[in-house]
Amino acid sequence: MTEGTPVRALIRDVMQQAAKAQRPLFAIQRRWPRLVGKALATHTRPVSLRRGRLVVHADRPGDSFALNYARPRLLAQLQGAEQGAVEEIVIRAGSVA
């Protein structure tokens, strides 16, 4: 931080960098109901994307199973759409709210 740089400008720059880094995750979250279907999307949610690993929470065991079954198809679709941003899908029990 330089002495002449206003804090407001630094905060804006950090927020812009964070938004840019999360853009692929936001795109996946917007497309999620189309990727997995409305019924499954109601009980599952992509929650993070770091180093190529997409973490998806599922709030019911049956939905975890359904996602696991669809994982190869989902991975192929996501790799095509997000230009390699997703290399792996990890499914975990968790809140989708």
Q: What is the pLDDT of residues 24-45, one digit of tens each?
A: 899 999 999 999 999 999 999 9
| Residue 12, pLDDT score | 74
Q: Does CATH number 1.10.287 belong to domain 24-93?
A: no
| Domain edges within the chain | 24-93
The answer to whether residue 91 scores a pLDDT higher than 60 is yes
| Residue 95, pLDDT score | 92
Q: What is the pLDDT of residues 39-81, one digit of tens each?
A: 999 999 999 999 999 999 999 999 999 999 999 999 999 988 7
Contact, 63 vs 44, CB < 8 A?
Answer: yes
> Which one, of 56, 23, 27, lies nearest residue 41 by Cα?
56
| Residue 1, pLDDT score | 52
Please list, in sequence order, all residues whose beta carbon lies within 8 angstroms of the beta carbon of residue 88, skipping any fewer than 6 positions away: 52, 53, 54, 75
Amino acid type, 46: P
| Residue 80, pLDDT score | 82
> Which one, of 97, 94, 31, 34, lies nearest residue 63 by Cα?
94
And the tokens for 7?
């804090």
| Residue 71, pLDDT score | 95
